[in-house]
Amino acid sequence: MKMKFRGWSREVHVHDHEIKPVRKTGSGYEVNKIPDVKINNDEIVVLGRVAGLALTGDFLVELYLSSQDLSLLIQEKIAAEPIASLAFISDLQARALTAALELKSGNQA
């Protein structure tokens, strides 16, 4: 995952930072290939470390999630809430199918 900070009222410098996935250990946190993922109510919480961050002021934050990041989050949601995940995944599949059919019919017109 990556995150980008841009000045809210004015942009002097764009701050690009990589978020390294971390896992909770007995004494704190450690960088790991697979992050801790928690389901809180309807939110997915992922733990990560941003190094060398020294910012003050208000910023627009951009988060960049890869397909692999999204897949991992969905897998964690399935493991935590298998029944609720069926409706979630069915809805995503229906949306993807609808968009694909609309794209196909638009290309043939």
Q: What is the pLDDT of residues 7-26, one digit of tens each?
A: 888 777 888 888 888 888 88
Nearest C-alpha neighbor of 34 from the set 66, 62, 69, 3: 69
88-96, long-range: CB < 8 A, 24+ apart:
none
**Tokens for 27?**
């004494």
Threshold 0.85, pTM exceeds: no
pLDDT tens-digit series, residues 33-63: 777 777 776 677 788 888 888 888 887 777 7
Q: What are the structural domain ranges in the chain? A: 2-64, 78-109
